[in-house]
Amino acid sequence: MKKMFGPICLGLGAFLLMVGVLTVTWVPGKVEKLPLDVSTTTNLDGTVKKLDAATGDLVENPAKVQSITKVDSDVSTDEVAAWTNTTCVVIDTGDAPDCVDGSDPRLVSASEDVFATDRVTGEAVPDFDALPADAVPHEGLVNKWPFNAEKKDYTYWDSTLGAAVPAVYDREETLLGVDVYVYKVDIENAPASIAAGTLGTYTNHTEIWVEPTTGAIQQQVQDQQRYLKDGTPVLDLKISFTDEQLETTADEAKSNVSLIKLLTVWAPIVGFVLGGILVAVGIVLSRSSGGNGRNGESGGQHKPVPAAVG
């Protein structure tokens, strides 16, 4: 039995050690990278106060926002993901659909954005060759944080300003069972295009909850106002993820974090620890099964003693 189990332990232990090496050197570069089949729909709701041109007053209504973000796998590369994002903000009255056309008075805004990001760091890649010629060059983080995000400030893209702004680390929390870092983006009375062909000022106070292992955004709360140049308010928008969206992002985060930890934490521990133990056991069993040749054991044959001659 020792002869059989020694080589088995050595072989299995060597295999597990190899698994441990791969999970430390090769696996992180594969699992801690944005996949190219991403297609997400994010839903937010809240309230919107929009200027009524007839009365000059801000009229408050419920609002909903739908943001659809997809990776264009045809032009993305091993390092860079090309994205298309469409966002629609709608006054949620009269059983409004997720988006309406420009002739519908319930439309607050509709936009499309094309950009590229690094698949590991999440940073914008403004000079990516596959982007259309008229794509706005982005800077900083756009739609996710890097894998293994840190408790530090980042640069974050604001599409209304068309510029990157600081996203300041604020605190650590737990959201629906997911450990998150919270970052704040504060923009105060910044000159901006507040509507097509209309210049004014823009204020937006945003909090972003990020799951740090994957960099996925779990919650986003915006408190946004827009004003004409003379200070007349034209928009007051307060939105956050819907309850259903929060549940969805939390479930996805838990699943993805568990998978990453299995492959990058537990697999190396099992590979190195159990592999090392099995190799040691295999060596001991192999040595003991070889024998030392004493007492008629498998160390060699004894010559017969010749009979005494009388």
Per-residue pLDDT of the chain (310 residues; tens, 9 = 90+): 556 766 776 676 667 666 655 556 655 556 689 999 999 999 999 999 998 878 888 999 999 999 999 999 999 999 999 999 999 999 999 999 999 998 899 999 999 999 999 999 999 999 999 999 999 999 999 999 999 999 999 999 999 999 999 999 999 999 999 999 999 999 999 999 988 888 999 999 999 999 999 999 999 999 999 999 999 999 999 999 999 999 999 999 999 998 887 777 656 666 567 656 756 766 777 777 665 544 444 444 444 444 444 4
pLDDT score of 121 = 96
pTM over 0.85: no
Domain assignment present for 210? yes
pLDDT score of 266 = 59
Segments forming the whole domain that contains residue 113: 35-252
Domain assignment present for 95? yes
What gap in Å lies between CA 281 and CA 268, rounded to an integer?
19
Domain assignment present for 260? no
In order of 22, 104, 114, 117, 156, the CA distances from 159 in angstroms are 40, 24, 11, 15, 10
What single string gives the DSSP state of each residue in the chain?
-HHHHHHHHHHHHHHHHHHHHHHHHTHHHHHSS--S--EEEEEEEEEEEEE-TTT--EEEEEEEEEEEEEE-TTT--SSEEEEEEEEEEEE--SS--S---TTSTTEEEEEEEEEEEETTT-BB-TT-TTS-TTPPPP-SBSS-PPTT--SS-EEEEETTTTEEEEEEEEEEEEETTEEEEEEEEEEEEEEEEEETTEEEEEEEEEEEEEETTTTEEEEEEEEEEEEETTS-EEEEEEEEE-HHHHHHHHHHHHHHHHHHHIIIIIHHHIIIIIHHHHHHHHHHHHHHHH--S-TTSTT-PPPPPPPPP-
Domain assignment present for 281? no
Domain assignment present for 147? yes
- Phi/psi for 39 (5° steps) reads -150, 105
In order of 1, 16, 184, 294, 295, the CA distances from 285 in angstroms are 9, 18, 60, 18, 20
What gap in Å lies between CA 69 and CA 273, rounded to an integer?
42
Assigned token pair, 21: 């090496």
pLDDT score of 197 = 83
Domain assignment present for 102? yes
What gap in Å lies between CA 70 and CA 76, rounded to an integer?
11
Domain assignment present for 232? yes
Give the chain's domain count: 1
Question: For the packed helices 275-290 and 2-25, what is the interaxial angle rounded to 10 degrees?
Answer: 150
Domain assignment present for 223? yes
